Amino acid sequence: MQTTIATAQGMPAQGMTGGIAAEGAPALPSRISWGAVIAGGVVAVAVGAMLNVLGLAIGATTIDPVTVGETPSAGTFGIAAGLWLLVANLIGLAAGGYVAARLSGTADDTDGVLHGLSVWAIGFLISAVLLGNAAAGAAGGISRMVGSAAQGLGQGAGEAIAAVAPAARSIDPRAMAERLQTGLQTGGDPATMTNDQRRTEMAQIIASRVTSGTADQGARDRLAQLVAAEYGVAPEEARTRVDRLEAEATRVAQEAEARARAAADAAANGAAVGAYWIFAAMLLGAVAAVFGARTGTRNTVRAMDRRLA
C-alpha cells in the first residue's frame, strides 16, 4: 500500500511507504517527584537536628562541676561532638533518602539513587540556610551588645567631660600651644634643649627605627647624645644603652615575624584540614542518602502466567 509521509515543510514525500508521523516526539513523563525529594530533605534535617539535640543533652550530663576530674577534657568533648555530629547527619540523610525513594513510587534503582542524591543536596542547602540565619542572629545580638556598651561609654564620657570642663576652662590655651610648639622643636645641642624637646626627638628617632626596620649611624649617635643629656650619663653609657635598645628591638621584630609566620602556617593547615573533613563528611552523607534510597526503592514483582493443564 502506497502512502505519503508528511515532511517538516508540510509537503508530502512521494514514493515513501509507512504511516503518517506527527511532527516532533511525544514528551516523556517526568521521572522525579519533587514532593518526595522535599519531604525527604525535611525529614533528613529534622532527624539530624533531633539526634544533635540528644547528643547535646548527653554531653551536658557528663559535666560534673562538683567532683574534680569527673568532667571530660575539652579535647575529648570536641572529638565526641564531632563524631556525634557526623553520625547524626548520616542517619538523618539515610532516613531522608529512604523517605524520598519510597514516596516517589519508583521501582527503578537508578531513579531511587537520584532521589537520594537530591535529598542529600537539599538537606545540605537547608542546613546552610539554618546555619546562616543562626549566625546572622548571633551577629545581631553582638551588635546590640556593642551598641549598648557604646551608649554606656558615651554617657560615661559625657559625665566625665562635664566634670572636667570646669578644670579645662582654667587652662590657658595660649600657654599650652607655646609649650607644644617648644616641645616639637628638635635639633641643636641636646644640653640646651628642654626635656620635652629631647623626649620628642627621641620618640621621632625610635618611631623612624620601628617603621623603617633599620637605623643609620647618624641616628644612633644623635639618640646617644639625647640619652646622655636627658638622663645625665656619660656618652659611653648612653651608646651602650642605645646599642642595647637596638639589639632588643631587632630581637623583638624577629620574634614577631616568626610568630606571624607560624600563625599563618597554622591557620593555613587548619583551613586545609577543616576543608578535607567537610569534604569527607559530605561524601559520607551522599553515600548514606544513596543507601537509604536504595533501601526505600520499591521492588519489582513479576507475575508469571500459569496455564492450567
Looking at the structure, do residues 81 and 149 belong to the same domain, yes or no? yes
67 pLDDT band, cuts 50/70/90, is: confident
Query: In this structure, is residue 8 part of a structural domain?
Result: no
Query: In this structure, is residue 216 part of a structural domain?
Result: yes
Q: Name which residue leads in pLDDT, 53 or 161.
A: 53
- Distance between alpha carbon 117 and the CA centroid of its chain, in Å? 26
Per-residue pLDDT at 21:
47
Domain limit, last residue, from 129, 163, 197: 163
DSSP code at position 8: T
269 has pLDDT over 90: yes
Cα torsion angle, 94, 99, 102, 103, sign = negative
Query: In this structure, is residue 200 part of a structural domain?
Result: yes
51 has pLDDT over 70: yes
Per-residue pLDDT at 9:
46
Looking at the structure, do residues 117 and 155 belong to the same domain, yes or no? yes
Per-residue pLDDT at 27:
56
Looking at the structure, do residues 147 and 222 belong to the same domain, yes or no? no
Query: In this structure, is residue 283 part of a structural domain?
Result: no
Query: In this structure, is residue 217 part of a structural domain?
Result: yes
Q: Taking the model in full, what pTM does it have?
A: 0.59
DSSP codes joined into one string, 103-134: HHT---HHHHHHHHHHHHHHHHHHHHHHHHHH
Domain limit, last residue, from 233, 256, 279: 256
Query: In this structure, is residue 66 part of a structural domain?
Result: yes
Per-residue pLDDT at 170:
60
Looking at the structure, do residues 147 and 212 belong to the same domain, yes or no? no
Per-residue pLDDT at 120:
94
pLDDT in tens, 28-41: 567 788 999 999 99
Domain residues for the domain of 211 are 180-256
Domain limit, last residue, from 163, 192, 210: 163
Grid cell in block for residue 162: 562635664
Total domains in the fold of the chain: 2
Query: In this structure, is residue 9 part of a structural domain?
Result: no
Looking at the structure, do residues 157 and 41 belong to the same domain, yes or no? yes
303 has pLDDT over 60: no
Mean pLDDT of 174-191: 61
pLDDT in tens, 236-267: 888 888 888 778 877 887 888 899 999 999 99
Q: Residue-wise over 151-168: b if at least 16 C-beta within 10 A, else e?
A: eeeeeeeeeeeeeeeeee
